[in-house]
Amino acid sequence: MKKFALFACFAALFLFACGDSGPEVKLSTSEPDPAAQNYAVAGLQLQMNANSAWQYQNLRLYPVTAEPGAQTVDGVGLPLLKTLADAMNLPGFRITERKQFGRSEDAWYNALTVQNKTDETIFLMSGDVVTGGNQDRVIAYDDVVLPGTVKNISVFCVEHGRSSYYNPSASESEKQVAAFRGYYNVASPQVRKAVHSGDQQGVWNAVASVTSANDAESHTDTYAALETENEKKAKRDAYLRFFDGKFADMPNAVGMVAVCNGKVVGVDIFGQPDLFRRQYKALLHGYAAEAAATEPADEMPEPNVAYAFHDVASLANSESKGTDFAGRFELEGRWVHLYKK
């Protein structure tokens, strides 16, 4: 009965909106309004108004902006964070195969060692892919590596067919260190969902599905084979070119909701506009891998964008670390990343 009443209310609002466009609607209630142009919760605002500049073929982005000072507690905000892509180019930062600390004998493929000898605080995002080592990996959980620290991090394998150092002609000392050579974007939503489920076989299955759909199979079954030059890569590059710089004139943008063929495939909101700008292209690469693998539908259903945003953004004012649908990562009591699982 409650669901029927809520539906009737939404229907009435929608009919009213169609009859009179009126001024922009801004909400801060606990329930989304599908007739609103913007929807706000916890100092975050979803831009819901139709804008052709935010859609290319079957991929549409909905910007999320933040009120100034939304992440300030007692006048102190989050420290400036660098992304993993930034860090991989910094002298003094290195990711290697897991180094033994103490007596633990955990399987090597589920953990890596991060050495941060820089003065920067590095944000690692679940879904970040690194290449090299003894097999390409995807970061399992959001994490932060403080300046001057060494720590082990949890990962999953995204290269099923390799278990030896990527450069077979390297010296034995280099093979012993087994450092990773580079960063390769954020994985597609399908792979990220498998990562959140915590099952290695599920991750391998998702990688196989995404690379196959993008005509990017390889002899080692690596996710990074998406770099193979072919027609699907050309399609992905077209998405990347179209969306490049779309947030340049939105200094308060902190995230986005991504929709592919009428389905919400991702929600990512960051605690700093700068962090979002740094992670934007890597995130977009994963969304493009999803979009380029499918043809635009003739008729795409209206996605529940406001509800997806609400479930994620509401964690900004919550002590919960997350739900079955949404996750929250925080640092020193301030959230850094809110996301759809």
Give the tens place of pLDDT for each residue, 254-296: 999 999 998 999 999 999 999 999 999 999 999 999 999 988 7
Identify the pLDDT of residue 101.
59
pLDDT at site 51: 78
Please tell me the predicted confidence (pLDDT) of residue 319: 84
* pLDDT of amino acid 10: 39
Measure the CA angle with vertex 48, ends 44 and 49; round to 5°.
135
Q: What is the pLDDT of residue 295?
A: 82
- pLDDT value for 299: 67
Cβ atoms < 10 Å from Cβ of 331: 18
160-194 residues labelled b (16+ CB within 10 A) or e (exposed): bebeebbeeeeeeeebeebbbeebbbbbbbbbbbb
What is the pLDDT, as a whole number, of residue 99? 80
CA–CA distance, 229 with 173 (Å, rounded to integer):
33
Cα 89 from Cα 266, distance rounded (Å): 27
Burial class (CB in 10 A: 0-12, 13-18, 19+), 57: middle
Residue entry with tokens 């929600």: 267
Q: Which residues of the chain have pLDDT under 70?
A: 1-37, 50, 69-76, 100-107, 299-301
pLDDT at residue 180 in the model: 96
Q: To which H or E segment does residue 206 belong?
A: helix 200-213
Closest to 6 measured CA to CA, from 34, 26, 25: 34
In this predicted structure, what is the pLDDT of residue 29?
40
